[in-house]
Every structure is written in C-alpha cells, then in structure tokens.
Amino acid sequence: MDPLAKLAKDTIENRVLGKPPAPPQVITPEMKERAGVFVSIKKLGELRGCIGTFEPTKANVAEEIISNSIASATRDPRFSPVKKEELMDLSYSVDVLTKAVEVFSKDQLDPKKYGVIVQCGWRRGLLLPDLEGVDTVEEQIEICRRKAGISPVEPVRLFRFEVNRHS
C-alpha cells in the first residue's frame, strides 16, 4: 500500500479502535511538503467519507493526512462515524493538491485531469478530478456550486488544480 494511503488507514483504524494516532511508518519526501490534502474512504467501492483542505493548514502533508483522515472517518456530515465492524471493508485514497490557479474559460478545464474550485465571495466549492460519474466541466461546476450554496445565476470565479492520488 502507498505510504500516504497507509498513513490514512492507520490513523483511521487507530481512531476507531480508541488508540492515539501513530506517526507514519515511512516518511516520504512528499509528506514533508505543505499542500492541501483530501482523504477519501470507500466501503466496498462506495464513498464512505471524504474531507480535505483546499490549502495547507498544518506544518506538512503528513499532519494534513492525519487531521483529514480523522475528519473523514468521524465528521463527514453525509455519513455516520466509521465503526469498528466496518474497518475490514474500507479502502483509502489520499489526494495531494497542487496550488490552485485561476482560469478564465471553461475551455481551460478538464474533469479527468483537473479538480475545480468555484468561488463567489467567501463561498467556495471544490470537486476533485477524475471522479466516477462526473464526465463534463458543466457537471463539475454545478456540483461545486451546490456544495458552496451558490445559485446557477451568480457570477463565479473558477480555479483549477491537479492532484497526486495515492491509494
């Protein structure tokens, strides 16, 4: 298993089992960097939790993974907290985000390659790239608007980013 995904797995399992977070067993160069990170949990192939940060909030990627792993397992409002009985059915992925760059045309987006951030004032919605069932830029933008509570008629700024996906 990839070291970043293993850190997410170990963190979630320790949390669910009532143990303190364990430091990474292997520290990769990427873990020492600073970046936004999303941790996704799937149960038998279906989304079970996903929480992340648009930009770095911790000292390094390893700390972002630990924090976002716990949040994905316990605080994703779409799901109840992960239970011990589920652990054997879970898989994990970690997306390390590049810095977001503003784009001025939908033509500069690609749902397979780029994630999208839609912003209107202080409201922002983010969608990771290459998600099953999201095939067009319009779908990406519409999902981001919904997540942020931005109506279809409000003007928005668009940003794109790439991810380094670990699973």
pLDDT reading at 21 higher than 90? no
Domain shared by 90 and 12, yes or no: yes
Tell me what pLDDT residue 139 has: 98
Number of domains composing the chain: 2
Tell me what pLDDT residue 84 has: 98
Domain shared by 44 and 74, yes or no: yes
Split at pLDDT 50, 70, 90, the class of 162 is very high
Which two three-digit tokens encode residue 13? 């399992």
Q: What is the pLDDT of residues 108-157, one digit of tens each?
A: 999 999 999 999 999 999 999 999 999 999 999 999 999 999 999 999 99
pLDDT reading at 22 higher than 90? no
How far lies 8's CA from each of 51, 56, 117, in Å? 12, 17, 24
CATH of the domain at 83: 3.30.700.20
Tell me what pLDDT residue 29 has: 97
H/E segment holding residue 72: helix 61-74
Sign of the dihedral defined by the CA atoms of residues 133, 136, 141, 146, in that order? negative
For the ranges 3-7, 19-23, 89-93, which has the lowest average pLDDT? 19-23
pLDDT reading at 25 higher than 90? no
Q: How far apart are CA 21 and CA 102, in angstroms?
A: 36
Tell me what pLDDT residue 35 has: 98
Q: How many CB atoms lie within 10 A of CB 144?
A: 22
Burial grade of 64 (CB within 10 A; 0-12, 13-18, 19 or more)? buried
Domain shared by 83 and 109, yes or no: no
Domain shared by 81 and 125, yes or no: no
Q: Which of 90, 80, 75 is nearest to 10 (CA)?
A: 90
Domain shared by 9 and 89, yes or no: yes
Q: What is the pLDDT of residues 45-97, one digit of tens each?
A: 999 999 999 999 999 999 999 999 999 999 999 999 999 999 999 999 999 99
**Residue 142 in contact with residue 152, Cβ under 8 Å?**
yes
Position 167 in a domain: no
Paired residues of 90 in beta bridges: 43
Domain shared by 157 and 114, yes or no: yes
**Residue 48 in contact with residue 82, Cβ under 8 Å?**
yes
Q: Is 8 helix (H, G, I), strand (E, B) or coil?
A: helix
Domain shared by 8 and 88, yes or no: yes
Q: Which domain holds residue 20?
A: 3-97
| Residue carrying the six token digits 């850190």 | 7
Q: How far apart are CA 114 and CA 112, in angstroms?
A: 6
- The helix/strand count (H/E) of the chain reads as 4, 8
CATH of the domain at 112: 3.30.1490.150
